[in-house]
Structure 1
């Protein structure tokens, strides 16, 4: 039996579209037990309780690359990462399946190998990289190779996730994006993502409100999130350092000074005036990424 824990992730962080992601201390746990034959999945909706389960598909793809065959497997899932909320629930399934397969095969693959397979499945590394590696990660794909770098984040901030009761599919969130952007907007984002990374790294947190600005996706996706503008104003009025859409949304994450002790209570009062219910969750950066908790 193999037990694996994978963190939630938030991609983009405003201007870092498809290139930046961060791991957060909200976790899904997966247990793998070999069976003589067949497939058994526990802990997920009936729609995913079959051979199209993303954890199982990721296991199969990884094992095939190692020329290994799976006789039978029981997968038990303990899910704390909300689905279709922009917090990397799919990436967690992919990473768990790949890491589980590698453990079953005797760990022949390196983390770079695992990341490459995860990126092939996901299509881009912005979520799977921090899910596997932990921390703040910048990543690109070049000629089918994934290049990444973990970035140190200075202490002194916390991440507040505003998770709505409604969902938003990645397909819908990508569907509203323009096919082309202006040169001016491209330059805008290059400058902002550079400022964002440097501000997080050296603790110049007063620059985050500028570094989190974006012209590639948030202006379009925010229209799919009810009360987005109101939420951002509420966060700003309560001294947030910056606010952004988590991944494709609809979760919104705001960064606050760790000394801002009244932020959550003040925010929660104002959220009751909005049309939808929002769960407020205080999170910290997960620095470990996916870990094997035990093996028997």
Structure 2
């Protein structure tokens, strides 16, 4: 790989689970991180971080974007060159909107861009490599491919299916100003087994949710009911839990976004989204930033930087 090869990557935030679809359903959101990567002759890695995470995250080869890029190149048998990265981040960290998945996807997709014309990297390979880094594909798939995704594991690795959300569905994501939630902590709060009736309950709701998102938004309230994970995690984010309860009591299909503490409200029309935002402003203690978003359809993109060799 010659020095002076440069690529630019744009990768979307995601929301996972969507209520009953634990570790399976995810959706790409119109908030983005941007990363540029340029190879150099001298070895080593430097990372400049702008925006979210500046002064907080690593700026060497242990940075999650850089580490994922290096992991992909090594997996493909490519000698790792010196690397200069600039990460401009807009996705909040530790809020349940897929920041770590987006960082991993950014690194893996940047690696694909750097080896363009040298190695042919398939979508399945990107999903496999990124999932190995993340541990589960529910955030990875929508960040890579956009849209609403169903992700599952097979003996041969992860798989995913991209779907298009009904145009009548509007998204509202409410992000708390300070509170964060570790995905590891959130997972530790769940039991290893659940009652048989709860498993059946979630199977029915997850199936119904696909129908609601694709064809019947009027079913979103029932379709977003969950017994597998949200109740078990409620004690770790009481304000989130209380606000979701208040929203659902008023007829809004509110769920925990990913591991939390952010809230996703799936609205059946834009007017309902405005009403949900007003209720959050009225009842939410602390600072909640509400984002009226749409579903990103493109997923991660990579382009050669103009003026650089490729």
- With the shorter chain as reference, the TM-score category is over 0.9
Structure 1 counterpart SS, 2:30:
strand
User: Which residue, 68, 73, 83 being the options, matches 1:58?
Assistant: 68
Matched, 1:210 2:215: no
RMSD in angstroms over aligned alpha carbons?
Answer: 1.7
Question: What is residue 25 of structure 1 aligned with on the other side?
Answer: 30
Matched, 1:291 2:301: yes
Once the two structures are superposed, the pairs formed by residues 1-80 of structure 1 within 5 Å of their partners are 1-37=6-42, 38-43=44-49, 44-80=54-90
Q: Using the TM superposition, give the Cα deviation of residue 190 of structure 1 relative to its aligned residue in structure 2, in angstroms.
A: 0.4
Q: Using the TM superposition, give the Cα deviation of residue 47 of structure 1 relative to its aligned residue in structure 2, in angstroms.
A: 4.0
Q: Using the TM superposition, give the Cα deviation of residue 46 of structure 1 relative to its aligned residue in structure 2, in angstroms.
A: 4.5
Q: Using the TM superposition, give the Cα deviation of residue 2 of structure 1 relative to its aligned residue in structure 2, in angstroms.
A: 0.9
The 2-side partners of 1:118 and 1:265 are apart by 34
Once the two structures are superposed, the pairs formed by residues 81-92 of structure 1 within 5 Å of their partners are 81-92=91-102
Q: Using the TM superposition, give the Cα deviation of residue 45 of structure 1 relative to its aligned residue in structure 2, in angstroms.
A: 3.2
Normalising by structure 1, what TM-score?
0.93
Question: What is residue 175 of structure 1 aligned with on the other side?
Answer: 188
Q: What runs of 5+ residues in structure 1 fail to find an aligned partner?
A: none
Structure 1 counterpart SS, 2:27:
strand
CA contact (8 A) 1:159 1:254 kept: yes
Normalising by structure 2, what TM-score?
0.89
| Number of residue-to-residue matches in the alignment | 292
Q: What runs of 5+ residues in structure 2 fail to find an aligned partner?
A: 1-5
CA contact (8 A) 1:5 1:293 kept: no
The 2-side partners of 1:267 and 1:28 are apart by 29
**Closer, same or farther in 2 for the Cα pair 1:225/1:68, shift >3 Å?**
same
The 1-side partners of 2:273 and 2:220 are apart by 19
**Closer, same or farther in 2 for the Cα pair 1:178/1:98, shift >3 Å?**
same
